[in-house]
Amino acid sequence: MKVLFIHQNFPGQFRHFAAHLAQQPDVEVLAVGRETAPGMKDIKLLRYRPRRGPSKETHPYVRTFEDAVLHGQQVLRMLLDLKKEGYRPDIVIAHPGWGETLYVKLAFPDTRLIHFIEYYYHLEGADVGFDPEFPFGIENAAFVSSRNPLHLFNIEQCDVAITPTYWQKSLCPMAYHDKIHVIHEGVDVDQLGPNATAFLEFPNGKRLHPGDSVVTYVARNLEPYRGFHCFMRALPELLNAHPDCQVIVVGGDEVSYGDTPNDAPNWREKLLRENPVDLERVHFLGKVSYDIYRCILQVSAVHVYLTYPFVLSWSMLEAMACGCLLVASDTAPVREVVRHGKNGWLFDFFDGKALVEYVLNALSNPPEAATLRANAQRSVQAYSTEKGIAGYMAWVEKLCGPV
């Protein structure tokens, strides 16, 4: 069987499944990604780059669609070259969010196509307009609405659509729900878990161990979509109320979602200026290696996770897998995993006082914390890579026959 993965940032969400397929003796795996894609060992990656970006003359509302067309056009050229060489994939598994697969069926009309459907925009009930601090005008509403035709076409043209959570599925048009299946790609729970011997050492020689009063916060980038502004505004009160706690913040200074601040280079600098804290107690580590990241979660006494109603971060599930006590925002994607008082605590995204109260309670009540930690670790087994691989494999075999 020939399997073709297409993902701008390959492997992205397909890391574990692609690795699994690559180990099967009768499966040939090939991948397509942009020139910036990290790639994977033992999987051939064909890199592409659009010949140009969208024109400045294009209407702003449809500029992202023109960009998608340019991505799709370049990938089509690559696929047609492969076809001339005799290549015919049995199945294509792709993240279509940037337009790469717009024309896959033109190159291979009989090839089965599985799409990873990540998000379908709404003007109410999801991320848009959720945070009153960032008003959303009519121009932005029109711009966001104009992004959905690409995503609608992506659902329409694939044979099967897969999305990680039921909440993400609920955002998609009801007419397509029978076509969309919920399979989370999974986190590597076997490589996570508590570690009593873990420690985190700082350049000055200070070490933190499991059992210390350590509060952790992780995001790919430090920005409002992941509640960084709410977290920073709660820190002064938390540090004052618990003089011994240490806070570890992991994340970059770029923007994954939303905009940069108008009055500072990044959200970290802006919010530090507005909420001064003792940098001997609050440690901004930037982006770290996976081993250090895992160690941070293993020494954590309480892990704070906030998000707009948006795509759920792997970091929340990985924190639970490490046995962290989770204090998280009571937003739709989080509620799908976290049960308040059972495997973590939930609080209103905008309620900084509640955030502080739950963190302080977590630091001062070890027996209750131990129960929540154990429950979190058990419940996240439902999001293991093994279950994700099995779910994807079932659809590959249903569409193409046994592997």
| 266 in Cβ contact with 253 (< 8 Å) | yes
The pLDDT, as a whole number, for residue 331 is 97
**What is the distance between the alpha carbons of residues 130 and 122, in angstroms, rounded to a whole number?**
11
What tokens appear for 229 in the block?
Answer: 């502004």
End-to-end CA distance of the chain: 7
Closest listed residue to residue 378, CA positions, set 241, 189, 95: 189
Q: CB count, 10 Å around CB of 61?
A: 14
The pLDDT, as a whole number, for residue 403 is 85
Q: What is the pLDDT of residues 229-282, one digit of tens each?
A: 999 999 999 999 999 999 999 999 999 998 899 999 999 999 999 999 999 999
**What is the distance between the alpha carbons of residues 263 and 265, in angstroms, rounded to a whole number?**
7
CB contact set of 286 (below 8 Å; sequence gap of 6+): 250, 251, 252, 253
What tokens appear for 186 in the block?
Answer: 């999974």
Helix (H, G, I), strand (E, B) or coil at 125: coil
Residue 322, classified by CB atoms within 10 Å of its CB into exposed (0-12), middle (13-18) or buried (19+), is buried
**What is the distance between the alpha carbons of residues 17 and 316, in angstroms, rounded to a whole number?**
21
The pLDDT, as a whole number, for residue 174 is 97
Mean pLDDT, residues 305-330 taken together: 97
Q: What is the pLDDT of residues 331-354, one digit of tens each?
A: 999 999 999 999 999 999 999 999
The pLDDT, as a whole number, for residue 373 is 95
Share of residues in the chain with pLDDT > 70 (%): 100
The pLDDT, as a whole number, for residue 239 is 98
DSSP for residue 52: S
Q: What is the pLDDT of residues 21-78, one digit of tens each?
A: 999 999 999 999 999 999 999 999 999 999 999 999 999 999 999 999 999 999 999 9
* Mean pLDDT over each residue of the chain, to the nearest integer: 96
The pLDDT, as a whole number, for residue 368 is 84
Reported confidence tier of residue 203, pLDDT bands at 50, 70, 90: confident
Q: What is the pLDDT of residues 90-118, one digit of tens each?
A: 999 999 999 999 999 999 999 999 999 99
- Centroid of chain to Cα 62: 25
